[in-house]
């Protein structure tokens, strides 16, 4: 069964590890997936949504060579769907170029004929119709996955490796807790407008929040007010138009709890809100509401971190 289906997920695997959003992309593609990279056999067993799995084992995952290697096999596939993980975003344009198709990047929904693309900082949804074969990337976290399926036996696909100019990997460093992508963090400390006093350097404040969070094994996130002010990177923005997260613990520092923010919070088991306003929505939805000056509390935590 070497004939690949019309709609196929392509997932880049590194040392047997699946990227974020892999299962969602596979589910969106109806369960058909091609795993490419190193350790694809191991990764195949981790999939929860696959109905049929093909594998291509390659030495590295450099996007230029990988695209050139896979292009020929994908000729009959109309919709190639990749998760918009770092490796997926790397590979998708190269695949599109190599196979002469348009790329529809950042989809939040994709079927055999159309894709809904999220644009304008996630405020706009543009639906495009495919006029021929396409490559699509699906934003992780937008879909969710249903009941787990037991993984099918993978079929190895024979390809002719092609090499083109790529960057040379010097090393891959393990994640540090504070930079773990928010989507995967189990503990998140969020900073809002109330965490930065008037005239204060918000960037420094967010750095302190990141350090204090790391000390407590957590990652730092922020509201749009904070990311818009440039005090934190946009990848830190939690909310309906930012990153959608799913932590167990969420500690909100000076956050009012606008729906656009809480809409991206998932269902944390524990919510703590530190706010001067006892009736703000964030405190109302918290398990523990602490009425206090958030900048001061952060400074105090930072002192204890240094002393520890």
Ligand X SMILES: Cc1cc2nc3c(=O)[nH]c(=O)nc-3n(C[C@H](O)[C@H](O)[C@H](O)COP(=O)(O)OP(=O)(O)OC[C@H]3O[C@@H](n4cnc5c(N)ncnc54)[C@H](O)[C@@H]3O)c2cc1C
Closer of 4 and 107 to other proteins (Cβ) = 107
Between CA 99 and CA 94 the distance in angstroms is 9
Q: Please tell me whether residue 285 binds ligand X under the rule CB under 6 A.
A: no
CA 50 to chain centre: 20
Confirm or reject binding of residue 223 to ligand X (CB under 6 A). yes
Q: How far is CA 47 from CA 33, 147, 182, 207, 231, in A?
A: 10, 12, 21, 36, 37
Residue 156 or 217: the one with the smaller Cβ distance to other proteins is 217
Binding at 169: pick from ligand X, other proteins, none (beta carbon under 5-8 Å per type): other proteins
Question: Whose structure tokens read 């350790």?
Answer: 39
- The residue with tokens 């047997």 is 16
Binding of residue 111 to ligand X (CB under 6 A): no
CA distance 170 to 45: 29
Among 202, 239, 268, 289, binds ligand X (CB under 6 A): 239
The candidate with the shortest Cα–Cα distance to 213, out of 89, 295, 301, 137, is 301
220 near ligand X, rule: CB under 6 A: no
Site string for ligand X, 150-189 (x = CB under 6 A): ----------------------------------------
Closest to other proteins by CB, 3 vs 169, is 169
For residue 293, count CB atoms less than 10 angstroms from its CB and return exposed for 0-12, middle for 13-18, buried for 19 or more: middle
The smaller minimum CB distance to other proteins, of residues 158 and 279, is found at 279
5 CB neighbour count, 10 Å cutoff: 20
Q: Are 182 and 235 in contact (CB under 8 A)?
A: yes
Q: Given candidates 36, 117, 182, 193, which one binds ligand X under the rule CB under 6 A?
A: 193
Choosing from 192, 247, 268, 289, the residue that interacts with ligand X (CB under 6 A) is 192
Q: Which does 144 bind (CB under 5 to 8 A by kind): other proteins, ligand X, none?
A: other proteins
Which of 37, 88, 106, 295 contacts ligand X by CB under 6 A? 295
Partner from other proteins, ligand X, none contacting 242, C-beta within 5 to 8 A by type: ligand X
Closest CB 64 distance from other proteins, rounded Å: 7
Stretch that binds ligand X, among 70-78, 95-103, 170-178, 292-300 (CB under 6 A): 292-300
Q: Distance (Å, rounded) from C-alpha 182 to C-alpha 149?
A: 26
Q: Is 245 helix (H, G, I), strand (E, B) or coil?
A: coil
User: If binding is defined by CB under 6 A, does position 241 make contact with ligand X?
Assistant: yes
240 binds ligand X (CB under 6 A): yes
81 CB burial (10 A radius; 0-12, 13-18, 19+): buried
Cβ proximity to ligand X: between 57 and 293 the closer is 293
Please report, for residues 51, 160, 221, the alpha-carbon distance to residue 25 in angstroms, rounded to integers and kept in the order given: 13, 26, 25
Strand, helix or coil at 207? helix
Report if residue 294 touches ligand X, rule: CB under 6 A: yes
| Interacting residues with ligand X between 8 and 67 (CB under 6 A) | none
Parallel/antiparallel/unpaired status of strands 7-13 and 32-37 = parallel
- Does 225 bind ligand X (CB under 6 A)? Our answer is yes
Interface ranges with ligand X (CB under 6 A): 123, 192-194, 223-226, 237-242, 254-256, 258, 260-261, 264, 275-277, 280, 293-295
């Amino acid at each position: 069964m070497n004939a690949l289906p019309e709609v196929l997920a392509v997932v880049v695997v590194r040392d047997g590890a699946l990227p974020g959003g892999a299962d969602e992309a596979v589910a969106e593609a109806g369960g058909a997936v091609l795993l490419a990279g190193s350790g694809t056999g191991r990764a195949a067993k981790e999939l929860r949504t696959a109905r049929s799995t093909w594998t291509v084992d390659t030495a590295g995952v450099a996007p230029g060579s990988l695209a050139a290697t896979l292009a020929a096999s994908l000729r009959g596939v109309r919709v190639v769907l990749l998760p918009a993980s770092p490796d997926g975003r790397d590979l998708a344009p190269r695949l599109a170029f190599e196979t002469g198709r348009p790329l529809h990047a950042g989809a939040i929904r994709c079927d055999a004929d159309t894709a809904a693309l999220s644009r304008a900082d996630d405020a706009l949804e543009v639906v495009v119709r495919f006029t021929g074969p396409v490559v699509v990337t699906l934003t992780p976290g937008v879909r969710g996955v249903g009941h787990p399926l037991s993984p099918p036996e993978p079929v190895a696909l024979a390809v002719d490796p092609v090499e083109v100019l790529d960057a040379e990997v010097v090393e891959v460093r393990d994640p540090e807790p504070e930079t773990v992508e928010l989507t995967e963090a189990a503990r998140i400390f969020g900073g809002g407008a109330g965490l930065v006093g008037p005239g204060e350097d918000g960037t420094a404040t967010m750095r302190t929040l990141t350090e204090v969070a790391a000390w407590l094994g957590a990652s730092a996130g922020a509201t749009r007010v904070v990311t818009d002010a440039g005090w934190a990177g946009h990848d830190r923005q939690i909310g309906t138009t930012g990153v959608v997260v799913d932590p167990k613990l969420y500690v909100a520092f000076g956050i009012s709890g606008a729906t656009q923010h809480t809409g991206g919070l998932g269902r944390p088991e524990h919510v703590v809100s530190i706010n001067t306003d006892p009736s703000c929505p964030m405190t109302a939805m918290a398990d523990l509401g602490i009425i206090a000056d958030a900048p001061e509390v952060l400074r105090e935590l930072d002192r204890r971190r240094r002393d520890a």
